[in-house]
């Protein structure tokens, strides 16, 4: 081989070696240095993460009746890049989903700017319709398959359905578009109700179909837990019927009824007006969504006298028979009137006759600090802790901010404001021997197999008064409805428990509100020492003539009917002696109506 | 003689070796076919799994729809509505049709239950 040939061969060898060295470097760069990056890119092209949606937990009443359900729905999505005949597709979709043809055409014709291609391209993800019922989506899918049309997909989902519609709307609350609770129990129990979505990694072929053998990591979805409320739908139905009737009859600004079990603090029924349909969320005024039982405040009025009396009796400053000078109806020193002039009244009778002067004097004996302490002990001025959102604590001013006459006005429920639930809870404490219970709305939480995970046992907040004091107050309350009571103070006053002269704090001269403790049942069950429930009926600003604008004529008949129906529903036995063979039910009814 | 031996040596068929290669070929081809068959089986099983999963999801969805329907139809509000519109032919028992009997009195002497008593006979 001559020299030039050797040179050529060497040059070729060096060139080839250099070439292969470059290739080798590139190969190492691709396969080793940037392996992870390119592997991830490759995986992203054909590996997808599929979400397995968890089912939201149910909400049930105490007997297991479903109050909030899930219904499977689909979201219809189009990939316009895969649609060959837009017009034919639009026609099919518009007829199947009941959408206007031009609207579907507009959606399918949407374009997005592609950075890679530097031009507008058909949109790869267009939501055509949300919350399509499962059967409608299945029909559409079958038709698409039959006509071999591509480009429309169905994303699974679920929507919340409330079988009872308006009933319990303020307790149940509702969820938003992402199935997250935004009000009521749906919100407070969100952590329990919300499930945990699962996932699955899978590979897809070039047509987008899953290659099942190449499935990767998988995690099962964990469904949400079921929440069982303390509410009894039988009682709730009674309450709803009565509040609806009252709302139609008196056309008040608002109305609230609460039924609570004093021993446990369980809320058996709760209704507000105005209300709304949980299944139709559009155009609901914000005012209708408010749970007035926990978010509205009112001056408790004469119902507050129980606090003062119980406090004075617990402190042993007085006995039920201790006589108090009621100044013949006018207490000049503090410019305080009674509805009727009374010279001297026993502590028992102060409550029976609802003497403002009497309770003012009891409070004065207690002193500012002690009285304030008892007001707070009864739970006024702080949230009850019920598992409902939006609860407020009410207003109780501390003694150092009081005026000279505050100590005489607060005992009769003025200069104080409380929520209807606070008033009910305080009344429950009297019915429960002085034990203030935390209001409960959740009974327990179960998994989707029905196993109880968490229970919410009754919780005593504190003892607010002695047993003897609450017994004495209860005896007096019973007597309010007797002929000795303060019925003459106004038509129907005192018919169903503590008279109510409460006013809204912002408008003191408005018509009275009517919170009504369930007096009649308290009386009937007193001997058994086991009151079944305490009820509060609040009708705010009823549209009735002045001579009929009394608690006894507005709230009392509502309470009366609720008491009658609830007693029958709960199969309560009368503790009064009933003559053998008498028609007890009739007697009970007249018993209620006579009052 | 020598030419005959040379021919025999030159044309000899190595049977053992041939058979070995044939077997190797058969095994290789069989293995390949088995691999393809298994792969096909895997894919068809995957498709079957997918369709069964889809069927299961459909059934679950139908079940949920049915449950929801049942819950709505048996809800207190619906029953009350049906009762109000007289769809459910229930007649409420009026108060004058309810009689509650008191507990049977006991004899003062023996403490025995006396479901029937006639005071006049004692007089």
User: How far is B65 from B68, CA to CA, in rounded Å?
Assistant: 5
pLDDT band at A39; cut points 50, 70, 90: confident
Contact present, A437 and A429 (Cβ < 8 Å): yes
Q: Which residue of A60, A135, A164 is the best one to mutate when testing the B interface, meaning the one whose CB has the most B CBs within 10 A?
A: A164
Contact present, A271 and A257 (Cβ < 8 Å): yes
pLDDT band at B115; cut points 50, 70, 90: low
pLDDT digits (tens, 9 = 90+) for B48-63: 999 999 899 889 989 9
Least confident of A20-24, A332-336, A458-462: A332-336
pLDDT band at A340; cut points 50, 70, 90: confident
CA distances from A307 to A100, A312, A314, B33 (A): 65, 9, 10, 91
The pLDDT, as a whole number, for residue A524 is: 37
Residues of chain B positioned with their CB less than 8 A from the CB of A163:
68, 71-72, 74-75, 77-78
Residue partners of A24: CB distance under 8 A and separation at least 6: none
State the smallest CA–CA distance between residue B20 and chain A in angstroms. 36
Is the pLDDT at A531 greater than 70, yes or no?
Answer: yes
Cβ-defined contact of A166 to B62 (cutoff 8 Å): no
* DSSP symbol at A317: S
The pLDDT, as a whole number, for residue A387 is: 93
A63/A555: higher pLDDT:
A63
CA distances from A253 to A42, A275, A448, A510 (A): 65, 12, 41, 12
Cβ-defined contact of B62 to A164 (cutoff 8 Å): no
Burial A142-173 (b: 16+ CB within 10 A, else e): eebeeeebbbbbbeebbbbbbbbbbbbbbbbb
pLDDT band at A584; cut points 50, 70, 90: very low
pLDDT band at A499; cut points 50, 70, 90: very low
Least confident of A113-117, A447-451, A477-481: A477-481
Cβ-defined contact of B99 to A584 (cutoff 8 Å): yes
Q: Is A160 helix (H, G, I), strand (E, B) or coil?
A: strand
Highest mean pLDDT among A28-42, A373-387, A492-506: A373-387
Q: Which residues of A touch B (CB under 8 A)?
A: 55, 65-66, 69-72, 133-135, 138, 156, 158, 161, 163-167, 210-213, 233-234, 236-237, 241, 578-586, 589
Average pLDDT over residues A317-341: 87
Cβ-defined contact of A584 to B76 (cutoff 8 Å): no
Residues of chain B positioned with their CB less than 8 A from the CB of A233:
76
Contact present, A155 and A354 (Cβ < 8 Å): no
- What separation, in Å, do the N-terminal and C-terminal C-alpha atoms of chain A show? 133
CA distances from A193 to A225, A315, A346, A453, A541 (A): 5, 46, 54, 12, 38
Average pLDDT over residues A393-403: 92
User: How far is A352 from A321, CA to CA, in rounded Å?
Assistant: 12
Closest C-alpha among A401, A402, A322 to residue A365? A322
Cβ-defined contact of A241 to B80 (cutoff 8 Å): yes
The pLDDT, as a whole number, for residue A512 is: 35
Is the pLDDT at A12 greater than 80, yes or no?
Answer: yes
pLDDT band at B9; cut points 50, 70, 90: low
Question: Could you count the other beta carbons within 10 Å of the beta carbon of residue A415?
Answer: 20
pLDDT band at A510; cut points 50, 70, 90: very low
Is the pLDDT at B123 greater than 50, yes or no?
Answer: no
The pLDDT, as a whole number, for residue A268 is: 95
**Rg over CA atoms, chain B:** 47
pLDDT band at A269; cut points 50, 70, 90: very high
The pLDDT, as a whole number, for residue B84 is: 85
A4/A189: higher pLDDT:
A189
pLDDT band at B119; cut points 50, 70, 90: low
Is the pLDDT at A11 greater than 70, yes or no?
Answer: yes
Average pLDDT over residues B14-21: 90
Residues of chain B positioned with their CB less than 8 A from the CB of A234:
76
Q: How many residues does the structure list for chain A?
A: 595
Computed over every residue of chain A, the mean pLDDT equals 84
Report the chain B residue with the minimal C-alpha distance to residue A583: B99
The pLDDT, as a whole number, for residue A359 is: 92
For the four alpha carbons of A504, A507, A509 and A510, in that order, the dihedral sign comes to: negative
B54/B1: higher pLDDT:
B54
Query: Would you state the structure tokens that stand for residue A581, as one six-digit string?
Result: 């063979």
Largest CA distance in chain B: 156
Residue partners of B78: CB distance under 8 A and separation at least 6: A163, A164, B72
Q: Which residue of A62, A585, A589, A592 is the best one to mutate when testing the B interface, meaning the one whose CB has the most B CBs within 10 A?
A: A585
Average pLDDT over residues A79-94: 89
Query: Would you state the structure tokens that stand for residue A484, as one six-digit string?
Result: 């000795």
Is the pLDDT at A327 greater than 80, yes or no?
Answer: yes
User: How far is B4 from B10, CA to CA, in rounded Å?
Assistant: 10
**DSSP bridge partners of A210:** A204
The pLDDT, as a whole number, for residue B112 is: 65
pTM comes to: 0.79
The pLDDT, as a whole number, for residue A574 is: 61
Is the pLDDT at B94 greater than 80, yes or no?
Answer: no
Highest mean pLDDT among A213-217, A386-390, B85-89: A386-390
User: How far is A211 from A268, CA to CA, in rounded Å?
Assistant: 54
Average pLDDT over residues A175-198: 93
Element (H, E) at A161: strand A152-161
Residues 35-74 of B with CB under 8 A from A: 42-43, 45-47, 49-50, 57-58, 60-62, 64-65, 67-68, 71-72, 74
* DSSP symbol at A175: B
Query: Would you state the structure tokens that stand for residue A85, as one six-digit string?
Result: 């005949």
pLDDT digits (tens, 9 = 90+) for A289-305: 999 999 999 888 888 99
Residues of chain B positioned with their CB less than 8 A from the CB of A210:
50
Average pLDDT over residues A462-473: 93
Q: Is A513 helix (H, G, I), strand (E, B) or coil?
A: coil
User: How far is A283 from A296, CA to CA, in rounded Å?
Assistant: 22
The pLDDT, as a whole number, for residue B107 is: 64
Cβ-defined contact of A578 to B102 (cutoff 8 Å): yes
Output phi, psi for A171, to 5 deg.
Answer: -85, -45
User: How far is A270 from A293, CA to CA, in rounded Å?
Assistant: 8
CA distances from A522 to A262, A348, A476 (A): 10, 17, 11
Return contacts of A391-399, CB within 8 angstroms, 24+ apart. Answer: A391/A294, A391/A295, A391/A419, A391/A421, A392/A294, A392/A295, A392/A297, A392/A419, A394/A297, A394/A418, A394/A419, A394/A422, A395/A297, A395/A505, A396/A372, A398/A372, A399/A368, A399/A369, A399/A372
A186/A450: higher pLDDT:
A186
B101/A161: higher pLDDT:
A161
Q: What is the residue whose two structure tokens read 């790869």?
A: A124
pLDDT band at A347; cut points 50, 70, 90: very high
Query: Would you state the structure tokens that stand for residue B12, as one six-digit string?
Result: 């000899």
The strand pair at A59-60 and A226-229 is best described as parallel
Closest C-alpha among B105, B103, B16, B71 to residue A64? B71
- Any alpha helices (H) in chain B, and if so which ranges? 2-10, 15-73, 76-84, 119-122
State the smallest CA–CA distance between residue A180 and chain B in angstroms. 19
The pLDDT, as a whole number, for residue B114 is: 60
Q: Is A468 helix (H, G, I), strand (E, B) or coil?
A: helix
Question: Could you count the other beta carbons within 10 Å of the beta carbon of residue A277?
Answer: 14
Average pLDDT over residues A442-468: 93
Least confident of A102-106, A107-111, B108-112: B108-112
Tell the burial category of A246 from Cβ atoms under 10 Å away from its Cβ (0-12, 13-18, 19+).
Answer: buried
Cβ-defined contact of A163 to B77 (cutoff 8 Å): yes
pLDDT digits (tens, 9 = 90+) for A352-391: 888 899 999 999 999 999 999 999 999 999 999 999 999 9
Average pLDDT over residues A564-571: 85
Query: Would you state the structure tokens that stand for residue A95, as one six-digit string?
Result: 């007829």
Is the pLDDT at A516 greater than 70, yes or no?
Answer: no
**DSSP bridge partners of A52:** A198
Least confident of A79-88, A246-255, A581-590, B105-114: A581-590
């Amino acid at each position: 081989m001559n020299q030039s040939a050797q040179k050529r061969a060497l040059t070729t060898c060096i060139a080839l070696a250099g070439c292969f060295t470059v290739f080798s470097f590139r190969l190492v760069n691709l396969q080793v240095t940037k392996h992870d990056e390119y592997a991830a890119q490759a995986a992203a092209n054909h590996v997808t993460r599929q979400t397995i949606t968890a089912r939201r937990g149910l909400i049930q009443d105490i007997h297991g009746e479903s109050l909030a359900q899930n219904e499977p729905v689909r979201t219809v999505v189009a990939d316009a890049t895969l649609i060959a005949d837009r017009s034919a597709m639009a026609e099919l979709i518009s007829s199947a989903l009941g959408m206007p043809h031009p609207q579907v055409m507009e959606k399918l014709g949407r374009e997005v700017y592609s950075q890679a291609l530097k031009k507008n391209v058909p949109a790869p993800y267009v939501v055509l319709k949300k919350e399509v019922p499962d059967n409608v989506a299945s029909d559409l899918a079958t038709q698409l398959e039959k006509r071999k049309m591509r480009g429309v997909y169905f994303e699974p989902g679920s929507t919340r359905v409330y079988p009872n519609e308006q009933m319990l709307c303020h307790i149940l609350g509702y969820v938003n578009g992402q199935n997250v609770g935004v009000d009521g129990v749906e919100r407070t129990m969100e952590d329990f109700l919300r499930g945990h979505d699962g996932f699955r990694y899978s590979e897809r072929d070039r047509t987008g179909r899953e290659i099942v053998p190449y499935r990767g990591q998988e995690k099962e979805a964990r469904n949400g837990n079921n929440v069982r409320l303390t509410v009894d739908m039988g009682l709730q139905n009674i309450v709803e019927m009565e509040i609806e009737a009252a709302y139609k009859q008196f056309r008040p600004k608002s109305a609230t009824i609460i039924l609570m079990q004093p021993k446990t603090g369980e809320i058996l029924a709760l209704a507000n007006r105005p209300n709304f349909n949980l299944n139709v969320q559009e155009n609901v005024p914000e005012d209708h969504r408010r749970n007035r039982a926990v978010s509205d405040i009112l001056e408790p009025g004469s119902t507050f006298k129980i606090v003062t009396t119980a406090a004075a009796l617990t402190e042993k400053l007085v006995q039920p028979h201790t006589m108090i000078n009621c100044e013949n109806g006018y207490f000049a020193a503090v410019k305080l009137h009674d509805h009727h002039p009374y010279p001297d009244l026993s502590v028992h009778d102060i409550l029976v006759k609802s003497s403002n002067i009497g309770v003012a004097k009891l409070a004065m004996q207690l002193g500012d600090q002690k009285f304030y302490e008892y007001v707070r002990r009864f739970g006024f001025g702080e949230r009850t802790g019920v598992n409902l959102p939006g609860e407020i604590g009410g207003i109780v001013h501390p003694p150092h901010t009081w005026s000279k006459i505050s100590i005489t006005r607060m005992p009769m429920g003025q200069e104080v404001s409380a929520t209807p639930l606070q008033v009910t809870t305080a009344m429950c404490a009297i019915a429960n021997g002085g034990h203030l219970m935390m209001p409960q709305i959740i009974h327990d939480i179960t998994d989707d197999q029905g196993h109880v995970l968490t229970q919410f046992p009754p919780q005593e907040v504190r003892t607010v008064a002695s047993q003897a004091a609450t017994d004495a107050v209860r005896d007096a309350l019973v007597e309010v409805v007797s002929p000795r009571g303060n019925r003459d103070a106004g038509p129907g006053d005192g018919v169903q428990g503590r008279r109510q002269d409460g006013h809204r704090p912002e408008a003191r001269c408005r018509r009275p509100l009517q919170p009504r403790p369930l007096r009649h049942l308290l009386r009937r069950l007193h001997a058994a020492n086991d009151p079944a429930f305490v009820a509060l009926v609040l009708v705010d600003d009823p549209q009735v003539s002045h001579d009929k604008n009394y608690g006894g004529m507005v709230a009392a008949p509502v309470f009366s009917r609720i008491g009658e129906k609830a007693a029958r529903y709960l199969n309560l036995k009368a503790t009064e002696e009933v003559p053998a063979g008498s028609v007890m039910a009739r007697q009970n009814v007249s018993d209620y109506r006579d009052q | 003689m020598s030419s005959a031996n040379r021919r025999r040596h030159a044309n000899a068929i190595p049977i053992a070796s041939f058979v070995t290669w044939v077997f190797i070929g058969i095994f290789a081809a069989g293995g390949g076919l088995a691999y393809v068959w298994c792969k096909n089986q895997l894919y068809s099983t995957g498709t079957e799994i997918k369709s069964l999963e889809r069927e299961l999801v459909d059934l679950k969805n139908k079940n949920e729809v049915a449950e929801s329907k049942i819950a709505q139809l048996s809800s207190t509000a619906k029953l009350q509505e049906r009762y109000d519109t007289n769809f459910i032919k229930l007649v409420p028992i009026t108060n004058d049709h309810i009689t509650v009997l008191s507990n049977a009195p006991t004899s003062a002497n023996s403490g025995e239950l006396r479901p029937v008593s006639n005071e006049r006979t004692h007089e």
